[in-house]
């Protein structure tokens, strides 16, 4: 339950306005959902207008970095080269690569190829070849604010099966995004993603999902894509989180690389795809801050 605030007191959001003219009605709606048994967001994960603007600027840089990757990625490029592109572009534009050193991660970007689900580590020994599919996951700190998004790239011409997996995964993200609106539930988005994936015979990884982001790299809530409509956390204006389902062609079972402790693979060796966007819940819908 939120701490009781007198109507004439300054609002908790830092706007400088009186609580009664700022977030009092907002809190009443949130507490009504809590009394009905729903999971609600804490004030700490609801972003202020100042924070949103900082996160929005970070997101613009994140988009530009992925645009640069899109312009240059091709067969014959090593994943270490991609790492250097991301690192150099980020630093040259005043940012910091968020993955570098995060909980010991050794590189500035994640590059996950074919049956790698996520957290692939760039290497000079890994050379992209015709037919590969690769997820490039970029996360940026700019002026203390975090952004996070990823894209799939098809190297040259791949198989129809891989091409469809990449396409359907992107469609699933778009289906989920349609459900992001204030006073709905994260489960609304999750079910839309899962229904689309399942319709095409694919599976969604359960153990790894999306997350809140903006002031920290990973914040509450955990965002699942195997949920049901009307469940999970209430979505409210000012929330920012990622939609990033990891979709497998075969089983949704995964394994972790025992040597590096980071890279996650599909257990059956079949391909996996992931697209990630960062989205803000607004008063009348949503705004995509990074893609």
pTM confidence score: 0.94
Please report, for residues 13, 26, 228, the alpha-carbon distance to residue 5 in angstroms, rounded to integers and kept in the order given. Answer: 12, 13, 34
Q: What is the DSSP string of 114-150?
A: TTEEE-PPP-TT-B--TT-EEEEEEEEEETTEEEEEE
Handedness of CA 133, 149, 105, 211 (dihedral sign): negative
Q: Check residue 14 and give its pLDDT.
A: 84
Q: Check residue 4 and give its pLDDT.
A: 80
Q: Check residue 152 and give its pLDDT.
A: 98
**Token reading at 112:** 């996950």
Is-contact 121 147, C-beta < 8 A?
Answer: no
Q: Check residue 12 and give its pLDDT.
A: 92
Place of tokens 């049956």: 115
pLDDT per residue rounded down to tens, the chain (291 residues): 466 889 999 999 888 899 999 999 999 999 999 999 999 999 999 999 999 999 999 999 999 999 999 999 999 999 999 999 999 999 999 999 999 999 999 999 999 999 999 999 999 999 999 999 999 999 999 999 999 999 999 999 999 999 999 999 999 999 999 999 999 999 999 999 999 999 999 999 999 999 999 999 999 999 999 999 999 999 999 999 999 999 999 999 999 999 999 999 999 999 999 999 999 999 999 999 999
Domains, the chain, ordered by start: 19-290 (3.90.230.10)
Cα(19)–Cα(270) distance, integer angstroms: 53
């Amino acid at each position: 339950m939120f701490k009781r605030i007198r109507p004439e007191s300054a609002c908790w959001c830092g706007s400088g306005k009186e609580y009664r003219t700022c977030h009092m009605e907002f809190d009443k709606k949130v507490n009504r959902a809590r009394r009905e048994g729903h999971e609600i967001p804490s004030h700490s994960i609801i972003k202020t207008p100042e924070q949103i603007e900082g996160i929005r600027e970070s997101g613009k840089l994140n988009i530009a970095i992925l645009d640069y990757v899109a312009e240059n990625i091709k067969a014959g490029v090593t994943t270490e080269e991609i790492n250097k592109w991301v690192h150099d572009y980020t630093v040259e534009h005043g940012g910091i690569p968020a993955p570098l050193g995060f909980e010991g991660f050794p590189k500035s970007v994640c590059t996950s190829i074919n049956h790698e689900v996520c957290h692939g580590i760039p290497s000079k020994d890994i050379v992209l070849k015709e037919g590969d599919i690769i997820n490039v996951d970029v996360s940026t700190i700019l002026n203390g604010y975090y952004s996070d998004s990823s894209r799939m790239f098809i190297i040259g011409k791949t198989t129809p099966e891989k091409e469809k997996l990449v396409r359907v995964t992107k469609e699933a993200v778009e289906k989920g995004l349609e459900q992001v609106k204030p006073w709905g539930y994260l489960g609304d988005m999750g079910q839309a993603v899962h229904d689309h994936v399942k319709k095409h015979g694919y599976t969604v990884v359960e153990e790894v999902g999306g997350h809140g982001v903006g002031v920290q790299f990973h914040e509450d809530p955990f965002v699942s894509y195997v949920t049901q409509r009307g469940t999970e956390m209430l979505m409210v204006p000012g929330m920012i989180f990622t939609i990033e389902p990891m979709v497998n062609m075969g089983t949704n079972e995964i394994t972790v690389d025992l040597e590096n402790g980071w890279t996650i693979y599909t257990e059956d060796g079949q391909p996996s795809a992931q697209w990630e966007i960062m989205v803000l819940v607004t008063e009348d819908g949503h705004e995509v801050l990074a893609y």
